[in-house]
Amino acid sequence: MIHGTQDTDVPVEESLKMAEQFKRHGVPHILIPIDNGEHCFDGGDPAQIEDAYNTMREFMLKYLEAR
């Protein structure tokens, strides 16, 4: 999950709760907060957003690989 810390449409706390439940149930996950990012990451640092997308891409390739 990638979530802007200043998101007013969906508060970042929702992703924090979801990440906690994933952890509790042993579900592989990552949560990458985008500092000062709003919904769709407006206001976030472009380099941080790019890093987040690259990290998420690697996660998805690892866990969603076609079998």
Q: Which residues of the chain have pLDDT under 70?
A: 66-67
Residue where the block lists tokens 């957003």: 49
pTM of the model: 0.85
- Give me the pLDDT at residue 22, please: 98
How many Å from the N-terminal Cα to the C-terminal Cα in the chain?
Answer: 23
Token pair in block for residue 59: 């996660």
Task: Tally the residues of the chain.
Answer: 67
Cα atoms found within 13 Å of the Cα of residue 45, Cβ hemisphere only: 8
Domain residues for the domain of 54 are 2-63
Instruction: Answer for the pair 40, 9: CB distance below 8 angstroms, yes or no.
Output: no
Residue with tokens 């042993």: 26
- pLDDT for 65 equals 78
